[in-house]
Amino acid sequence: MPADPVTDNYCRPVSGALYSRVQPTPVADPKLLALSNDVAERVGLNTRTCDQTQLASVFSGNELLPGMDPHATVYGGHQFGHWAGQLGDGRAINLGDVLGADDIAWTLQLKGAGATPYSRQADGRAVLRSSVREFLCSEAMHHLGVPTTRALSLVLTGDTVVRDMFYDGNPRAEPGAVVCRASPSFIRFGHFELPAARGDVALLENLLDFVITTDRPDLHGRLSSGDATDRRSACLDWFAGVCDSTQFMVLQWMRVGFVHGVMNTDNMSVLGLTIDYGPYGWIDDYNPDWTPNTTDSEQRRYRFGQQAAVARWNLFQLANALYPVIQDAEALQSILNSLPGKYEVARRKMQASKLGLPDEALGDPAFTELLDDLEHLLVCQPIDMTIFYRCLIDFACEHDAPAANERSQASLSDAIAPALYPVEASDPDGIAVANRSIFKQWGRSYRQFLQRYPLNAMTRRKNMSAVNPAFVLRNYLVQQAIDTLEQGDSTEFETLFRLIQQPYECLAEPDRRFATRRPAWASNRAGCSMLSCSS
């Protein structure tokens, strides 16, 4: 791919190129805070024999190994629905690719290693709090089964970085850190949008050829056949694959209650991987309108319940960018038109799995009503989504055989009691008086489905436990770990790092405090619920 001919590192427009070579800015005293052994092994590192001092030096940007060719890429994007023009890797520097286990190539990227030509007057640095969130969330998502970029290491720099966390004119010096991210590719929708917006069809075509050849070798034959029809069909198949992987990623977000917070097109991976962990969050009480991003608090464009629709809007922008090369609007539109129906089928199947029901239940005429009534139940009063579904496992496994209705109705309330946030005018079991009939009716309907599609209790428990996590990385837990880290205590951070690697396992007694409802004090405290883009 063409490189920027200018080698000086200053903020500027870059055209006719995909990347600029740039050197990381050295830091004062790099120290390795965390290393993902899983990622290290995937990229070919032996964690038992590695020199951790050198690891800290390399993955802070202080030392380059032979073959590394540091560079930052240029792209554009739609931010909050508006075209933003040139953006690019403002605080990310790619070290290069490594061939890891099973001959899989991984790009290693430092986030927070200094300014690049795309930093837009910023310093290219990252603070500890944002780096902790990036490191932990990348790995948490992987272990939850959500497609994601990975985090290899977290390094303290020994420097301080000045940030205005609340954008209120009160900046402060904070500890600096660098995360090394790993992914088969960091190519984004915005990489295609920028050359398309500039009318640089040659660069756009070059990039599309490169990405298809690299990521979809099965399409390479048609792409390089010399036949225009074959070439167009290969490009369309690649785009359809991007659409499918993007929708699958969002479906997994919805399954575990994750909200990305900044679904700009420059934050969308063509591999369908979750990328750029800024103001993200897991919903506590189920609320389709919740967003973790303070910048989006008025518009709520990127709210939880809107994520699938936003993904489709972003894919429409990608299709627009690809059109100058593909030149087949009807075929692109046909792919886009198929997305809502395909997503709905997948969503219903995902919901059935969370409820412990087989695919056979999807054809039941009453299944749609069951899901609609469940949505009504979850929003009628504050209910913790993660805990609700985990508690539902016991209810499902105990009530898939005929029993008295009274037992069913009482048991639902008992089973989900740990998921209920306090409300006024409630029963002793926590159900608001006005909502009694909602819970009663849904418990009866759900139990009828369990009896209609019986499973061995052990099998049902195993199936539901595999898709309903016992532990998710709530923002207030991360903020507590950040607070103690800044005081020199890594205990909470290390505990969270251990727990995110086994999110579907029942927590042992000492760890159960990490799987309870969000405490009242965390509802409005900075960093514990909503986050700014500086977080």
Query: Which string of DSSP letters, residue by residue, matches 372-419?
Result: HHHHHHHHHS-BBHHHHHHHHHHHHHHSSS---HHHHHHHHHHHHGGG
- Two tokens, residue 535: 């977080």
Alpha-carbon distance 165 to 448, whole Å?
A: 51
Contact 225, 231 (CB under 8 A): yes
Residue 488's region, left for phi above 0, alpha for psi from -120 to 50, else beta, is left
HEC readout, 491-502: HHHHHHHHHCCC
Closest of 183, 179, 346 to residue 252, by C-alpha: 346
Contact 280, 261 (CB under 8 A): yes
Is residue 197 exposed (0-12), middle (13-18) or buried (19+ Cβ within 10 Å)?
Answer: middle
Helix, strand, coil shares, percent, the chain, to 5: 50, 15, 35
Query: Which string of DSSP letters, residue by residue, matches 336-361?
Result: HHTHHHHHHHHHHHHHHHHTT--GGG
Q: What is the DSSP letter of 487?
A: T
Contacts of 426 (CB under 8 A, 6+ apart): 432, 433
- At residue 60, what are phi and psi to the nearest 5 degrees? -105, -10
Q: How far apart are the first and last CA of the chain?
A: 33
- At residue 480, what are phi and psi to the nearest 5 degrees? -60, -40
User: Which residues are catalytic, by number?
Assistant: 266
